[in-house]
């Protein structure tokens, strides 16, 4: 009497996948003539089948074909679409009476009824098929490129339901920013002039590369950071020194009427001057106005490579200036790699005395407080002196009128007797609050 394998049934069983089933199962189409894969591929399983036919051998789970996997994902997406549609279709409390009152006596009620009849409505399954097909048609990201390029690619396409369910980068939907200047930068378009300018700047880039190599072998940190001696970073002795600074005001972006310039004073020093105006444009969008600022160019290496200024061997910032009695703000930027770190800036006020006399202001780096996009952050920390991107001044004291700040030099000072690293308290905020 022939004995059959216990795992093989004489009847072919198949289960049809239900599109509304939240947990669909693969269809079993194995016939009695098709034994399990593990039993057919293992010699040990063949011998045990002849000697001990009653013993069940462990078999590997059947591998899903691409078509079955696509069908499974399509059913899952269809269930998600159905659940989201049912959630939207549920009436909100207190909205039924308002809808009835709005529809009664409205000349658009008839138009809405007729338009609803001709509106194409697809099934959940058809919408899921289209969503899965769009996901499969997207190009794969090359693993040799920058991983953050995925954010740039997906931000140009409206995020669909499937992409929101599978994506592992929630920042692109919550906090991710496309532009480091938050939309204030100028869009550069490719043109023939850019190619010509690139070849023109090749000589200066090669000279910068040569200077980097020389500085790498000749620099001596022990001599540069001698205690008590000032190390000048920026001075304003020649007009060429002004080319490394950027001047901005609210009027540059049509958000105010302030004007400012950076020029050479009659005595041969840098002069930051202009007129501050707190008048708000009457466009219904701008609420506050009145600021002017100068900022040094981003520290970089040759061939447009971003770099940082390393001030870790210094403890104080030294400025020799001559002001007009108004208050200014010193800004130390530590722009990071990720988008949430692009606007990290540390501030400290600069109080000027006014008059014809020069003043030397020495400020410890431990006194600078942390802010982002002009807002002082609740969670404070010390300045990362190894990652200084640029330095600048800002005037925004809400006083209309001219201002004048003459700068001789901006330097650094090392004082080994200073042990303080951060002068402010740090608070631990509960979860759910911004910037935690």
Which secondary structure element, helix H or strand E, spans residue 231, and what is its range?
strand 230-235
Contact 174, 162 (CB under 8 A): no
pLDDT band at 9 (very low <50, low <70, confident <90, very high): very low
The reply to whether 405 falls in a domain is: yes
Tokens in use for 83? 């659940």
Determine which of 121-130, 192-201, 403-412 has the lowest per-residue pLDDT on average.
121-130
47 against 56, higher pLDDT? 56
Q: Which stretch of 128-137, 216-225, 273-282 has the lowest confidence by average pLDDT? A: 216-225
258-284: average pLDDT? 94
**pLDDT, position 355:** 86
Other beta carbons within 10 angstroms of residue 277's beta carbon come to: 19
Domain membership flag for residue 134: no
Alpha-carbon distance of 215 to 226, in angstroms, equals 18
Tell me the pLDDT band of 236, cut-offs 50, 70 and 90.
very high
pLDDT band at 367 (very low <50, low <70, confident <90, very high): very high
Distance from C-alpha of 317 to C-alpha of 231, rounded to nearest angstrom = 10
Q: State yes or no: pLDDT of 331 exceeds 90.
A: yes
Domain assignment present for residue 232? The answer is yes
Show Cβ contacts of residue 156 under 8 Å, excluding neighbours closer than 6 positions: none
Say what angle helices 202-218 and 192-200 make with each other, to 10 degrees. Answer: 40
Confidence check: pLDDT of 58 > 90: no
pLDDT, averaged across the chain: 74
Q: Within a domain: residue 357? A: yes
Residue range of the domain that includes 368 = 226-413
How many CB atoms neighbour CB 200 within 10 A? 9
Structural domain contains residue 176: no
Residue 301 has pLDDT above 50, yes or no: yes
Asked if the model's pLDDT at residue 22 lies above 50, the reply is: no
- pTM (two decimals): 0.56
What is the reported pLDDT for 253? 87
Q: Are 354 and 323 in contact (CB under 8 A)?
A: yes
Q: Which segment of 105-109, 244-248, 360-364 scores lowest on mean pLDDT? A: 105-109
Q: pLDDT-based confidence at 201, cuts 50/70/90?
A: confident
Who wins on pLDDT, 88 or 322? 322
| CATH code of the domain containing 373 | 2.60.120.430
The answer on pLDDT for 403 being more than 80 is yes
Greater confidence (106 vs 7) lies with 106
Taking 60 as the threshold, does the pLDDT of residue 147 lie above it? Answer: no
Whether 46 maps to a domain, the answer reads no
| Residue 222 confidence (pLDDT) | 56
Least confident of 47-61, 235-249, 250-264, 278-292: 47-61
Is the model's pLDDT at 67 over the cut of 50?
Answer: yes
Top mean-pLDDT range of 38-52, 185-199, 348-362: 348-362
Q: Within a domain: residue 308?
A: yes
Determine the straight-line distance between the first and last CA of the chain, rounded to whole angstroms: 75
Q: Bigger pLDDT: 376 or 53?
A: 376
Instruction: Provide mean pLDDT across the span 349-369.
Output: 94
Instruction: Give the pLDDT confidence of 266-276 residue by residue, as tens digits.
Output: 999 999 999 99
Give residue 179's pLDDT.
67
Greater confidence (308 vs 100) lies with 308
* Residue-level pLDDT at 266: 93
DSSP assignment string, 154-208: HHTS---HHHHHH-S-THHHHT--S-TTTT-SPPP---HHHHHHHHHTHHHHHHH
The average pLDDT across 388-416 equals 94
- pLDDT confidence bin for 359, thresholds 50/70/90: very high
CA torsion 99-103-106-109 (nearest 10°) is 120
When divided into structural domains, the chain yields a total of: 1
Residue 352 has pLDDT above 80, yes or no: yes
Determine, yes or no, domain membership for 207: no
Token output for 37: 């894969």
Q: Give whichever of 20-29, 56-65, 182-191 has the largest mean pLDDT.
A: 182-191
Q: What is the pLDDT, as a whole number, of residue 409?
A: 96
């Amino acid at each position: 009497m022939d004995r059959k394998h216990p795992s093989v049934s004489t009847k072919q069983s198949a289960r049809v996948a239900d599109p509304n089933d939240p947990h669909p199962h693969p269809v079993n189409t194995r016939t009695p003539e098709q034994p399990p894969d593990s039993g057919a591929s293992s010699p040990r399983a063949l011998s045990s089948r002849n000697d001990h036919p009653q013993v069940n051998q462990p078999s590997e789970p059947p591998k899903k074909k691409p078509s079955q996997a696509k069908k499974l994902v399509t059913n899952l997406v269809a269930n998600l679409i159905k659940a989201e549609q049912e959630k939207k279709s549920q009436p909100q409390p207190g909205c039924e009476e308002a809808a009835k009152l709005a529809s009664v006596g409205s000349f658009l009620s008839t138009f809405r009824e007729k338009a609803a009849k001709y509106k194409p409505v697809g099934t959940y399954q058809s919408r899921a098929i289209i969503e899965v097909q769009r996901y499969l048609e997207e190009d794969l990201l090359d693993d040799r490129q920058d991983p953050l390029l995925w954010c740039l690619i997906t931000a140009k396409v409206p995020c669909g339901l499937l992409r929101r369910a599978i994506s592992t980068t929630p920042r692109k939907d919550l906090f991710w920013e496309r532009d480091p200047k938050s939309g204030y930068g100028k869009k550069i378009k490719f043109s023939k002039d850019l190619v010509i300018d690139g070849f023109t700047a090749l000589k200066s880039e090669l000279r910068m590369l040569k200077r980097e190599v020389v500085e790498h072998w000749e620099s001596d940190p022990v001599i540069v950071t001698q205690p008590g001696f000032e190390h000048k970073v920026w001075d304003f002795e020649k007009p060429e020194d002004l080319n490394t600074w950027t001047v901005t005001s609210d009027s540059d972006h049509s958000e105010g009427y302030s004007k400012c310039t950076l020029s050479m004073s009659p005595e041969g020093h840098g002069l930051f001057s202009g007129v501050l105006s707190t008048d708000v444009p009457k466009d219904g969008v701008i609420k506050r106005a009145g600021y002017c600022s100068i900022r040094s160019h981003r520290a970089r290496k040759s061939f447009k490579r971003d770099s940082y200024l390393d001030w870790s061997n210094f403890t104080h910032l030294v400025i020799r200036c001559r002001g007009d009695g108004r208050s200014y703000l010193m800004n130390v930027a530590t722009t990071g790699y990720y988008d949430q770190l692009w606007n990290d800036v540390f501030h400290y006020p600069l109080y000027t005395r006014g008059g014809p006399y020069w003043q030397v202001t020495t400020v410890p780096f431990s006194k600078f407080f942390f802010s982002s996009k002009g807002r002082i952050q609740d969670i404070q920390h010390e300045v990362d002196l190894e990652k200084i991107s640029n330095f600048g001044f800002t005037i925004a004291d809400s006083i209309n009128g001219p201002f004048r700040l003459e700068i001789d030099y901006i330097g650094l000072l090392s004082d080994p007797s200073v042990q303080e690293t951060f002068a402010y308290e740090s608070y631990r905020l509960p979860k759910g609050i911004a910037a935690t």
